[in-house]
Amino acid sequence: MRGLLKAFGTLSDWSAFAESWNALEPDTYLASVGLHRRRRHAVFSATPEGITREAHQPHYQSRDYNSLQGGIERWFAPVLPQVADSASLRCILQFCHACFGALAPKATRWHIELHQFRIEARPGEPGQPTPEGIHRDGVDYVLVLLVDRRNIASGTTTIHAADGTLLGSFTLTRPLDAALVDDARVFHGVTPVEPEDPTKPSHRDVLVVTFRQR
């Protein structure tokens, strides 16, 4: 994955980019149902002329795609400017634009949503990377990129057919391990995570980028 990304830019500021996950804000919507997650959110657009950050706006999913929190506009803390403008993020977005654009060559405009997630696991209280369960995001394509994984057990990604049949599973274990998902064709989920050592802090940090044709 590192080689693929470097064809579209540089990861020279990756350390600072990964460190920005320490500045995420609590997901108050998920906390209202007794679960814990930190996140930031941003919206971009992509055209043949390039990728541009859009004004901050809510994240919305219908109940068809998110039975837990669908049907409402959710406002999350915005991705910080220094993160949005970082070389690492620009490299990742350029890669996604080229990769997903090649799969849909007739698409000229894309709506991009960017999510920084931190799932925290606590003793006796597993973290829920996908609290909505096995799902689709309601977009065209998804990148899930592991940023950091500390003192975490499990967190296995599963890919399913529309009828629920398990097609495969794998665990993102190292920074830059990634999953590329054709959201129209398959469902995906992640198993709960628990601390390997319950006496120490634990978290799973991921970047999720979704592309939807406009």
What would the pLDDT profile of 121-166 be if each residue is shown by its tens digit? 877 777 777 767 888 899 999 999 999 999 998 899 999 999 999 9
The residue among 31 and 108 whose pLDDT is bigger is 108
pLDDT tens figures, 66-96 = 555 556 777 889 999 999 999 999 999 999 9
What is the reported pLDDT for 63? 62
Q: What is the mean pLDDT of the segment spanning 182-186?
A: 95
pTM: 0.90
Q: Which alpha helices (DSSP H) does 47-201 contain, by range?
A: 81-84, 87-103
Would you tell me how many other CB atoms lie within 10 Å of the CB of residue 57? 13
Beta strands in the chain (DSSP E): 25-26, 38-47, 50-53, 59-60, 73-74, 110-120, 141-150, 152-154, 156-160, 166-171, 178-182, 187-190, 193-195, 203-213
**What are 188-204's pLDDT values in tens digits?**
999 988 899 989 989 99
- Phi, psi of 3, deg, nearest 5: -65, -40
The Cα–Cα gap between 21 and 150 comes to 12
Domain count, the chain: 1
pLDDT for residue 69: 57
Give the DSSP letter string of 47-68.
ETTEEEEPPP--EE--TTT-TT
- The Cα 91–Cα 125 span in angstroms is 36
Q: What is the CATH number of the domain that holds 65?
A: 2.60.120.620
By residue range, what is the domain housing residue 112?
2-213
Read off the pLDDT band of 34 (50, 70, 90). very low
Does the pLDDT at position 174 exceed 70? yes
Count of other CB atoms within 10 angstroms of residue 85: 12
